């Protein structure tokens, strides 16, 4: 399992646009990829799951990937989040 923790810096939080970018990237990998916020968990391949978490600016999140391509998946998700100023 690969994972990282981060703080959301997008002023609107994880709204539709960043959620769709994350879903698109996560769907490229076979690994199970999850976003954890507070005591809740969302499948990063589901935009509805991500948006249902209600992640706001300043929130501490954790992303976990588990599977055959977990390292590549976690690195790609982190890159998308940094490149798009989500974290």
Query: CATH number, domain at 53?
Result: 3.30.1340.10
Work out the percent of the chain whose per-residue pLDDT is above 70: 100
- Residue of 6, 26, 18 lying closest to 72 (CA atoms): 26
- For the question of residue 19 being annotated catalytic, the response is no
The continuous run of DSSP H or E covering 42 comes out as strand 40-43
| DSSP code, position 16 | H
The pTM (predicted TM-score) of the whole model is 0.93
pLDDT the model gives residue 25 = 98
The tally of domains found in the chain comes to 1
- Proportion of the chain above pLDDT 90, given as a percent: 100
Domain that holds residue 8: 2-84
Q: How confident is the model at residue 83 (pLDDT cuts 50, 70, 90)?
A: very high
Given 4, 9, 15, 78, the catalytic residue: 15
- Residues 38 and 62: beta-carbon distance below 8 Å: no
Residue 60 to residue 38: CA distance in whole angstroms: 8
pLDDT digits (tens, 9 = 90+) for 5-32: 999 999 999 999 999 999 999 999 999 9
């Amino acid at each position: 399992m690969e994972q990282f923790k981060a703080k959301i810096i997008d002023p609107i939080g994880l709204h539709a646009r960043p959620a769709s970018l994350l879903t698109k990237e996560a769907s490229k990998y076979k690994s199970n990829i999850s976003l954890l916020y507070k005591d809740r968990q969302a499948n990063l391949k589901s935009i509805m799951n991500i948006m249902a978490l209600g992640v706001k600016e300043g929130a501490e999140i954790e992303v976990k990937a588990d599977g055959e391509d977990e390292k590549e998946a976690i690195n790609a998700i982190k890159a998308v989040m940094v490149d798009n100023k989500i974290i």
